[in-house]
Amino acid sequence: MIDKFWCDLHRDRHTWAYDAYSSFVENIDAELKADYQRSDQVTVALYGSTQVGKTTLILDMLGIADEHLPAVSRVLRGGRSVGKSSTATALRYRKSDDEFWRIGDAELGLRDDDVESFFGRVRADVEAGRREIPDVLDVYVPRQFFSDQADALKLDIRLLDLPGLNATNQNEVEYVRRVAQQYVPFADLIVLVGRADDLGFINPVALQLPELQDWAIYPRRFRIVCTYSFSSASFREWFGEGHRSADEVKARLMKQLKTHDYPLPPELQQFIYPLEFGASWNDLKRAREDYFERAQQVVKELRADFIEGISKAANRYSRMQMVFDLQKIADGKIRAFRERNDAIIEQLSEAIREYNDQLCTYEAARRSAKERADKLADIDAHLTDHLTGNSLDAVLKRAFGGSESVPSRPSERTASELVAEAQRCYCELQKLWGNFPYGQQEPAVAVEPARQDHADEESEVADQWPSLGNAPSLRGVTDYIDRLNGYWIGYIPGLSGFEKDFAFLEKTIELARGSYISAARKSVVAQWESERAEARKEAARLARNQAALDFQCDSLRASLDEKQVELEGVRLAGEAFEQRMKHSIEHGNRFRSHMKQAHLDGLSAVERRFRNETNAARQFYLLAFRHLIEPEYEKMMNGVND
């Protein structure tokens, strides 16, 4: 009988490596740590869309006998009809010690119908969003359903059956996301399952879960299983052309995968497995027995390779070898991070460009509005000055007060001469009205000298005096002319008739000039007041518009500042991420020397125990143990899986 002391030593032959690995992983960046830091329990997670044969694959991997597959599947479906998603919650499978089902820690054994009803209720609870459902259920399958085949997985490996994410029920989708976030990062291996006639299922976008989308960065941790591989007509035709080996079948599938528009690592071919099982496999057997016989040999070889690969890769020892791919993983994460960051930066940059364009437009509108408001303010002030000052009276006096409209004493003292002078003054007044404000002088700017420098800015008013419209009536002048034209005799010498009529003409013309000045003042004032009212109305509208433009500009500046801060944050986060990855890569490059030192320390510890041990038999075991662990470092560095 082997001494227990030796058994304990042999069990702990990798302890030095596990301890060194754990301390090493502590200094890896958190972004990468989940890929390396896992519990002692080895877990294999299976994920895929609904109705791709995932649960059947798991049962086959566990070693459920072919004749019991339909019965076990029916129970696990929970009354769900074929063609619909069967897995309602994440399941971990076990082998029961007796002929009963057990769920979780329940000691009471269950019959098939009980378990089927239980899973039906679980699905109802998941779809209703009830949170009391455990994230993962342990299912103990009755032992009589297992076959004695030697190529099933060891039962100390936990198989985690994850529901598909393409469920129609939103509560189920949220549940799957929560479970995936909790368990997928810590699974030792992840098996992606999909149909061979729909190879887009491994597209990172189609996988949807962030925990799975970077699978191509480190394919060693993944296995790709394509179900229904031997059922399609195109495959049967190709397979029937001659002898096909398992490697040729995998190469054909790899060639098909490469036709998709996402990059695939060259080493992927060793991790893909075209398989066939379940109902479609039985249909092939019944329909084409000769084809089935040939395909069966290839499928058997592929399945055995698949099971063996999982058995070898899914253990604590293999995790340590993953550190050698840390450079690749970090580079892949950097690429993925850059792609996401570049997309975010482009979106933010585009938003900043749009905000800048909008801000330029609004600021130009605001400047234009301000210029117009300033001009209106000048117009308002100018009009107010004219309406309240003496400039208008001065212009009116000059326009209608010239000597041209004043009667001149005729050289001959006759009524006809007075009529002619009255007619001349009549015409002159009308001419002055039409030529306002310049009279008969050359045109000049009719504003005060102090305001000459504003002449160009105020084209709307003071530089272009308003038109006076229709001239007022000169009835007094025409009555005067009619009266004189009615004289039958001329003036009698020595009498004052001529002088009286001339004086009356002067008075009549003066009154006419006064009525013209009054009418002109009234017309100009009315038009100026109207123009000033319009200017003030327009200024009020511009003030409201200016306030809206100010608000828009302030809002755009705030949004622009926010986007620029966000952009700077994204850029800094990218730099920090790459720096962290660089640090982890540098740390990973020290893994070999770290493990070598741990191995040397382990050997030294055994030697000290040997020297301090007084029992000869135990000394012998320690010496044998020293020889046992001496090559372990080289084996691990060379990728030998123990």
pLDDT at 639 over 60: no
Backbone angles phi, psi at 291, to 5 degrees: -65, -40
Q: What pLDDT sits at residue 507?
A: 92
Residue 84: the pLDDT is 53
pLDDT of residue 101: 92
Q: State the pLDDT at residue 79.
A: 67
Instruction: Report which listed range, 259-263, 324-328, 420-424, is most confident.
Output: 420-424
Contact at 8 Å (CB) between 248 and 242? no
228 backbone φψ class: left, alpha, beta (φ>0; ψ -120 to 50): left
Distance CA 629, CA 317 (A): 14
Q: Look up the pTM and report it.
A: 0.54
DSSP label of 203:
S
The residue that leads in pLDDT, 425 or 390, is 425
Res. 123 pLDDT band, cuts 50 70 90: confident
Instruction: Give the burial class of 476: count Cβ atoms within 10 A of its Cβ; 0-12 exposed, 13-18 middle, 19 or more buried.
Output: middle
Q: How far is CA 33 from CA 36, 79, 186, 204, 271, in A?
A: 5, 41, 10, 21, 23
CA 153 to chain centre: 44
Centroid of chain to Cα 91: 35
DSSP-derived letter for residue 370 is H
Please state, in angstroms and rounded to a whole number, the distance separating the CA atoms of residues 620 and 614.
Answer: 11
Q: Please state, for a pLDDT cut of 70, what percent of the chain lies above it.
A: 83
Cis peptide before 274 (omega within 30 of 0): no
CA 191, 196, 200, 206 torsion-angle sign: negative
Window from 103-107, 115-119, 552-556, 620-624 with minimum mean pLDDT: 103-107
Q: What does the alpha-carbon distance between residue 350 and residue 352 come to, in Å, rounded to a whole number?
A: 5
Q: How confident is the model at residue 156, as a pLDDT? A: 57
Question: From CA 580, how far away is CA 130, in angstroms rounded?
Answer: 40
pLDDT digit string, tens, across residues 29-79? 665 655 555 555 667 888 887 778 888 888 888 888 888 888 888 888 776
The number of helices, as runs of H, and strands, as runs of E, in the chain is 22, 8
Q: Any alpha helices (H) in 314-412, and if so which ranges?
A: 316-321, 326-388, 391-400
pLDDT at 164: 67
pLDDT beyond 60 at 359:
yes
Q: What is the mean pLDDT of residues 459-463?
A: 44
Cα angle value 496/497/500 (rounded, 5°): 85
pLDDT surpasses 80 at 169: no
Picking from 67-81, 304-318, 524-538, which range would have the lowest pLDDT averaged per residue? 304-318
Q: Give the pLDDT band (50/70/90) at residue 448.
A: very low
Mean pLDDT, range 201-221, rounded to an integer: 74
Rounded to 5 degrees, what are φ and ψ at 94?
A: -135, 165
Predicted confidence (pLDDT) per residue in 585-605, tens digit: 777 677 778 888 888 998 999
Question: What's the Cα-to-Cα distance from 435 to each of 251, 443, 466, rounded to whole Å?
Answer: 102, 9, 11
Q: Work out the average pLDDT over 405-421.
A: 87
**Token pair in block for residue 19:** 């301890």
Q: How far is CA 66 from CA 143, 240, 337, 340, 475, in A?
A: 14, 26, 45, 46, 128
Q: Alpha-carbon distance 394 to 391, whole Å?
A: 5
**Most confidently modeled range among 70-79, 161-170, 605-614:** 605-614
Distance between CA atoms of residues 526 and 520, nearest Å:
10
- Cβ distance 392 to 525 under 8 Å? yes
